[in-house]
Amino acid sequence: MIDIRLIRESPDLVKENIKKKFQDVKIELVDKVVELDAKWRKEKKKVDDLRHERNKISEEINKMMKAGKKAEVKKSIVKAKEIPGKIAKIEVKAGKMFGEIREIMMTIPNMIHVSVPLGKSDKENVEVKKFGKIPKFGFEVKGHAELGESLGVLDFDTSADVSGKGFYFMKGDLALLNMALINYARDFMVGKDFLYVEPPLMIRREVLDAVYSTAEIEAMGYKIEGEDLYMIATSEHPLIAQFIGKTLNGNKLPVKQTGYSMCFRKEIGSHGVDEKGIYRTHQFNKQEMIVVCNPEDSYKWYDEMLKYSVELFKSLEIPFRILECCSGDLADLKAKSCDLECWSPRRNEYFEVTSLTNMEEAQARRLNIKIEKGGKRYFAHTLNNTVIATSRALVAIMENNQLKDGSIKVPKVLVPYMGGKKFIGK
């Protein structure tokens, strides 16, 4: 959510930002906010004037009482008693206006960073750099689902009977490789001086409203019936929400945390979930990193967090690339974002495995996370980055490291976490 002062002072700048995101339908919302804000401030002034009048009457009553003017005192007291009722009525009206303004403001996209390339959709995202060599095979490559089933380490048919579409049973050495990725990612981030945290797996609607749009909540969120709780879609949300309504000491920033959790998503939309596969499912494992920092440091941390991702995936020896997200592919809260995409030999294309985002102050403004430093208070900047979504990393490892006999080579850095096992076979 952007600062309403920006709309008051530079509405055309906000409209231009909306155009850059190709959301022209939202341009009229800026004018609506300007109109409502002017009315709200007018009502607020009425309240301020009435309070000033009440204070003035109180002073006059004191003077009249000292002067012994009892009749005048009674009239003034009656007049003073009418004011709270008038204030209450105006505040109800102003409160409704404020709520409407906030609701609209939640749908106006964040101001994008000047470095963000312009484009309508993910098809216009910009490749920044490639890493690793795309493997060449002297045999017909298999997809990860076929590999997993042939090795007996993935079972989609049984999971469909037990839980339905979008789930899987992961078994044996592949399940151990999954845990190896989790443990390796944890140790990697702790080595970067991030605090390791295991967050709650459920969060309240208030938090979701601060990090997702209503449409996203409906498409993603698993609601716990009868309670104000949802299953988390990523550990980023509870990690950031730790600081909801808090004011942080600017001299003790940044906050650097990494959290592991199971994640749960309905994945309702055009992409849906995998019929057979572990790339897009309702339940998956993810290690996340977040940074809460002073505004002047946020892009330094953006670059640093990207370096961590590159270092980690280089160590897994998987071909990947950095893809800069264009303006039209940025979710409304994002000021700047990029993805890491790994190579899929089966699909003969890259696919997303991690996502780095700087939300600047937009998320902190929704969650009311502030910084106090040098006698000033202002909103923090928040960043998040996927350390590793293990199911997607496993897809890349399985497909790029497959051997002619159908076995899979374990990346060297994960061998110690696999008890020395170098291959996954039947």
Average pLDDT over residues 89-109: 92
Average pLDDT over residues 415-424: 97
Check whether 368 has a pLDDT greater than 90.
yes
Residue 269 banded pLDDT, cuts 50, 70, 90: low
> What pLDDT, on the 0 to 100 scale, is given for residue 268?
64
Residue 53 banded pLDDT, cuts 50, 70, 90: confident
What digits encode the pLDDT tens for the residues 54-76?
Answer: 888 888 888 888 777 777 778 88
Average pLDDT over residues 199-226: 87
Domain ranges of the chain: 4-105, 122-424
> What pLDDT, on the 0 to 100 scale, is given for residue 38?
95
Residue 211 banded pLDDT, cuts 50, 70, 90: confident
Q: Does domain 4-105 match CATH 2.60.120.1440?
A: no
> What pLDDT, on the 0 to 100 scale, is given for residue 212?
77
Residue 271 banded pLDDT, cuts 50, 70, 90: low
Average pLDDT over residues 288-297: 97
**Reduced 3-state DSSP string for the chain:** CCCHHHHHHCHHHHHHHHHHCCCHHHHHHHHHHHHHHHHHHHHHHHHHHHHHHHHHHHHHHHHHHHHCCHHHHHHHHHHHHHHHHHHHHHHHHHHHHHHHHHHHHCCCCCCCCCCCCCCCCHHHCEEEEEECCCCCCCCCCCCHHHHHHHHCCEEHHHHHHHCCCCCCEECHHHHHHHHHHHHHHHHHHHCCCCEEECCCCEECHHHHHHHCCHHHHHHHCEECCCCCCEECCCCHHHHHHCCCCCEEEHHHCCEEEEEEEEEECCCCCCCCCCCCCCCCCCEEEEEEEEEEECHHHHHHHHHHHHHHHHHHHHHCCCCEEEEECCHHHCCCCCCEEEEEEEEECCCCEEEEEEEEEECCCHHHHHHCCEEEECCEEEECEEEEEEEEEHHHHHHHHHHHCECCCCCEECCHHHHHHHCCCCEECC
- What CATH number belongs to 122-424? 3.30.930.10
Residue 270 banded pLDDT, cuts 50, 70, 90: low
Name which of 146-150, 189-193, 265-269, 378-382 the model is least confident about: 265-269
What digits encode the pLDDT tens for the residues 17-44?
Answer: 999 999 999 999 999 999 999 999 999 9
